[in-house]
Amino acid sequence: MIYEVKNMKKAADLFENWQESLIWSCLQGVMGRIYGDSGENPESVMALLGDFCYFAGKPSRELALYKPEQCKKDFVIMVPQNERWAEMIESCYPEKAKKVTRYAIKKEPGIFDRERLQQAVDGLPEGYSLKMVDEELFYGCKKLEWCRDWTAQYETYELYRKHGLGAVILKDGEPVSGACSYSGYLEGIEVEIDTREEYRRQGLAYICGAKLILECLERGWYASWDAQNKWSVALAQKLGYHFEREYTAYEIWGY
Which pLDDT belongs to residue 234?
98
Which pLDDT belongs to residue 24?
98
- Whether residues 118 and 97 fall in one domain: no
- Whether residues 51 and 95 fall in one domain: yes
Q: In whole angstroms, what is the distance from residue 40 CA to residue 223 CA?
A: 32
- Whether residues 88 and 124 fall in one domain: no
Query: What's the chain's average pLDDT?
Result: 97
- Whether residues 29 and 93 fall in one domain: yes
- 251, part of any domain: no
Which pLDDT belongs to residue 25?
98
Query: Residues 160-208: pLDDT tens digits?
Result: 999 999 999 999 999 999 999 999 999 999 999 999 999 999 999 999 9
- Whether residues 230 and 172 fall in one domain: yes
- Whether residues 48 and 139 fall in one domain: no
- Which of 216, 158, 204 shows the shortest CA–CA distance to 178? 204
- Whether residues 231 and 133 fall in one domain: yes
Q: In whole angstroms, what is the distance from residue 107 CA to residue 152 CA?
A: 24
Residues 6 or more apart whose CB falls under 8 angstroms from that of 69 comprise: none
- Whether residues 47 and 119 fall in one domain: no
- Whether residues 41 and 141 fall in one domain: no
Residues 6 or more apart whose CB falls under 8 angstroms from that of 138 comprise: 151, 154, 157, 160
- 211, part of any domain: yes
- 244, part of any domain: no
Tell me the residue type at 35: Y
Which pLDDT belongs to residue 89?
98
CA 249-138-47 angle, to 5 degrees, is: 30
Residues 6 or more apart whose CB falls under 8 angstroms from that of 84 comprise: 59
DSSP per-residue string spanning 172-199:
TTEEEEEEEEEEEETTEEEEEEEE-GGG
From residue 66, alpha-carbon distances to 37, 99, 122 in Å are: 11, 19, 48
- Which of 112, 145, 119 shows the shortest CA–CA distance to 213? 112
- Looking at 103, 127, 153, which one is the last position of a domain? 103
Average the pLDDT over 39-50 and give the result.
96
Q: What is the CATH number of the domain that holds 25?
A: 3.40.630.110
Query: Residues 94-114: pLDDT tens digits?
Result: 999 999 999 999 999 999 999
Residue 17 pLDDT more than 90? no
Q: In whole angstroms, what is the distance from residue 182 CA to residue 109 CA?
A: 19
- Whether residues 125 and 221 fall in one domain: yes
Q: In whole angstroms, what is the distance from residue 118 CA to residue 116 CA?
A: 5
Which pLDDT belongs to residue 95?
94
- Whether residues 76 and 157 fall in one domain: no
**Which three-class secondary structure state does DSSP give residue 243?**
strand
- 196, part of any domain: yes
Domain range for residue 224?
114-239
Q: In whole angstroms, what is the distance from residue 96 CA to residue 85 CA?
A: 16
Residue 156 pLDDT more than 90? yes
- Whether residues 126 and 231 fall in one domain: yes
Q: What is the CATH number of the domain that holds 163?
A: 3.40.630.30
Tell me the residue type at 212: L
**Which three-class secondary structure state does DSSP give residue 164?**
coil
Which pLDDT belongs to residue 255?
86
Which pLDDT belongs to residue 72?
82
- 171, part of any domain: yes
- Looking at 103, 136, 158, which one is the last position of a domain? 103
By percentage, how much of the chain surpasses pLDDT 70?
100
How many folded domains does the chain comprise?
Answer: 2
Query: Residues 45-82: pLDDT tens digits?
Result: 999 999 999 999 999 999 999 999 888 889 999 999 99
